Structure 1
Amino acid sequence: MRHFATASALLRASHPLPALAVTAIAAGLAAAVSGAPLGVAAAVLPGQLSVGWLNDLVDADRDARVGRPGKPVASGAVSRRAVLVAVVISALAAVVLSLPFGVAATAAHLVALGSAWAYDLGLKATAFSVLPYAVSFGLLPVFVTLGGGMAPPSWLVPAAALLGAAAHFVNVLPDLADDAATGVRGLPHRLGAVKSTAVASVLVLATAALLVLGPVGLSAGLLLLALAVALLSTGLVLGRRPGSRAAFRAVILVALLDVAVLLGSGIPPG
């Protein structure tokens, strides 16, 4: 029972839902490009888990100070040593499992992970906090397309980067007060909740607009844009509840919708 409790706490500390969502997005892109969605998923998932574990490990003292719920490391439900071991093993697994896709693809994945780790290790508390999200999300399709033997289309990387930046703004919104109390002042904290919400909305809509200019076409693109607006609006309204992650989930749903549309239209070479 004790080992089961430790494993359960370790899983919760990894933030599995965002990790699974990003993995699903990468696998969907791989299905359209390389035909190796399972291999891409196997490489991406441990890397995403390492980011979640490192985040909770670095933030453990801050989380304990404000009594943030759902934080197993801060509450002592899982030891910091166990989490550190999980970070190292999962990071190594991500690199090793990327190698079959080639040196260039592996390098892109490693830089994306390094950017995400840099966010965990301190960039989150600076005015440049949005950059790791933009870089890591932007490099995800680079890893997938290079692994499939093609260069990413010119519109795909900025679309992914914009979506990643939007995810940063909406993900931080529920924690603005707690973060401020512990000295974390990223870009959303400096802009405030209202401006951050507006920025996130513009970024998501800009992502959908890029897809209209890319492979989707005007008619399907306008439908995609309307669905993106509806999802984002719903998420932002529900996200007003204290501690709600509805806005972040809405952005992830828009990303999955974008991938589904790409699968239907195909990804032409850049």
Structure 2
Amino acid sequence: MDQQRTTGSPVPALLRSAHAGPALAVTAVAGLLAVTAGLPPSTSALVVAAVLTGQLSIGWSNDLVDVRRDRAVHRADKPLATGEVGVGVVRVACALALVATVPLSLACGLVAGLVHLLTVGSGWAYNLGLKSTAWSWLPYAVAFGALPVFVTLAGTPGELPPPWVPLAGALLGVGAHLVNALPDLDDDAATGVHGLPHRIGARRTGPAATAVLVAASVLIALSATGSHRWLSWLGLPLVVVLAAVGLRGRGRTPFRAAVAIALLDVALLAGAR
């Protein structure tokens, strides 16, 4: 039942329901990869637009699928659960974003577009059921691994990145999944969500996220071939320090350290080629 209770503009709540922070972060990563890959401005704009609409559709579909669970545990950070925005409004926004993603993706090239649609499909597969299985990490690995492939294939001529690039992206995706799940483990478990982080437990999820993200850092440092390769080597000691802080920390410290490593890995990956 639609529990909308506000009469003001639904836009702020609608954006929060789209998980705007993560959506904009992934979009910014795509834009950064496009710039470092040397794509023309027009192509970079298409890449950014396609990724943004795709991420918005994933965010909105996530809240639509989870609305009953979120209401059951009284999630105050979920606009659909609190009634700040109506289910119908989010459905329309989600549908429009998804429809827009298809032509925007294909405008980047047929193969590139299909690769990007695979990343979006992975996000939807997570929302529609994989999040509650031991394979919850897989959509993140596929989506983050495929993102740099989409960007380089969008170039003229399109080309595949070195194999280590999508592998590093996949490791980042798995790390992102573990980090993202940490704050909500109890609420998720209470409503029947039992993905990989829930199965290994909160005590192990933080260290596991740190280990995966450090592995991504090492892979990037060892494989970097660009003119800024030295940045990867300079960043590696900082990753080690953050990992030590995360592993020894308590409370939200492991979460914050893992997020910092993930952000640093993104920067290293962008400057590694």
Structure-2-length-normalised TM-score = 0.88
Contact (CA 8 Å) 2:210, 2:243: kept in 1 or not?
yes
In structure 2, the residue matched to 1:226 is 237
Distance 1:3 1:183, change over 3 A: same
The structure carrying a bigger helix percent of its residues is: 1
Letter in 2 for 1:226: P
State how far apart, in whole Å, the 2-side matches of 1:248 and 1:86 are. Answer: 32
Contact (CA 8 Å) 2:122, 2:142: kept in 1 or not?
yes
Q: CA deviation at 1:228?
A: 2.6
Q: CA deviation at 1:201?
A: 1.1
Mapping for residues 172-191 of structure 1, pairs under 5 Å: 172-191=181-200
Q: Secondary structure at the match of 2:10?
A: helix
Contact (CA 8 Å) 1:57, 1:83: kept in 2 or not?
yes
State how far apart, in whole Å, the 2-side matches of 1:239 and 1:97 are. Answer: 44
State how far apart, in whole Å, the 1-side matches of 2:80 and 2:249 are. Answer: 28
State how far apart, in whole Å, the 1-side matches of 2:144 and 2:45 are. Answer: 19
State how far apart, in whole Å, the 2-side matches of 1:248 and 1:164 are. Answer: 12
Contact (CA 8 Å) 2:231, 2:268: kept in 1 or not?
no
Could you tell me which runs of 5 or more consecutive residues in structure 1 were left unpaired when the two chains were aligned.
Answer: none
1:8-36 CA distances to partner (integer Å, 9 max, x unpaired)?
Answer: 11011011111111111111111122234
Contact (CA 8 Å) 1:25, 1:259: kept in 2 or not?
no
Contact (CA 8 Å) 1:170, 1:197: kept in 2 or not?
yes
In structure 1, the residue matched to 2:131 is 124
The count of corresponding residues between Structure 1 and Structure 2 is 261
State how far apart, in whole Å, the 2-side matches of 1:79 and 1:59 are. Answer: 14
Q: Secondary structure at the match of 2:9?
A: helix
> Which of 218, 238, 253 is equivalent to 2:263?
253
> Which of 97, 121, 127 is equivalent to 1:90?
97
In structure 2, the residue matched to 1:109 is 116
In structure 2, the residue matched to 1:195 is 204
Q: CA deviation at 1:251?
A: 4.6
Contact (CA 8 Å) 1:162, 1:206: kept in 2 or not?
yes
In structure 1, the residue matched to 2:3 is none
State how far apart, in whole Å, the 2-side matches of 1:132 and 1:59 are. Answer: 17
Contact (CA 8 Å) 1:166, 1:203: kept in 2 or not?
yes
Answer yes or no: is 1:27 the counterpart of 2:38: no
Contact (CA 8 Å) 1:28, 1:37: kept in 2 or not?
no
1:109-149 CA distances to partner (integer Å, 9 max, x unpaired)?
Answer: 11111111010111101111000000111111111011111
Q: CA deviation at 1:91?
A: 1.1
1:194-214 CA distances to partner (integer Å, 9 max, x unpaired)?
Answer: 221121111111111111222
Contact (CA 8 Å) 2:53, 2:100: kept in 1 or not?
yes
Could you tell me which runs of 5 or more consecutive residues in structure 2 were left unpaired when the two chains were aligned.
Answer: 1-5
1:199-254 CA distances to partner (integer Å, 9 max, x unpaired)?
Answer: 11111111111112222587543322122334455667788249x96356425422
In structure 2, the residue matched to 1:157 is 166
Letter in 1 for 2:90: V
Distance 1:8 1:182, change over 3 A: same
Contact (CA 8 Å) 1:232, 1:250: kept in 2 or not?
no
> Which of 42, 46, 52 is equivalent to 2:49?
42
State how far apart, in whole Å, the 1-side matches of 2:77 and 2:230 are. Answer: 43
Contact (CA 8 Å) 1:9, 1:72: kept in 2 or not?
yes
Structure-1-length-normalised TM-score = 0.88
State how far apart, in whole Å, the 1-side matches of 2:168 and 2:175 are. Answer: 11
Distance 1:251 1:18, change over 3 A: farther
State how far apart, in whole Å, the 2-side matches of 1:211 and 1:69 are. Answer: 39
Contact (CA 8 Å) 1:171, 1:248: kept in 2 or not?
no
1:163-190 CA distances to partner (integer Å, 9 max, x unpaired)?
Answer: 0000001110111111111111000100
State how far apart, in whole Å, the 1-side matches of 2:246 and 2:126 are. Answer: 24
Pick which of 107-116 and 33-42 moved more: 33-42
Distance 1:191 1:106, change over 3 A: same
Sequence identity percentage: 49
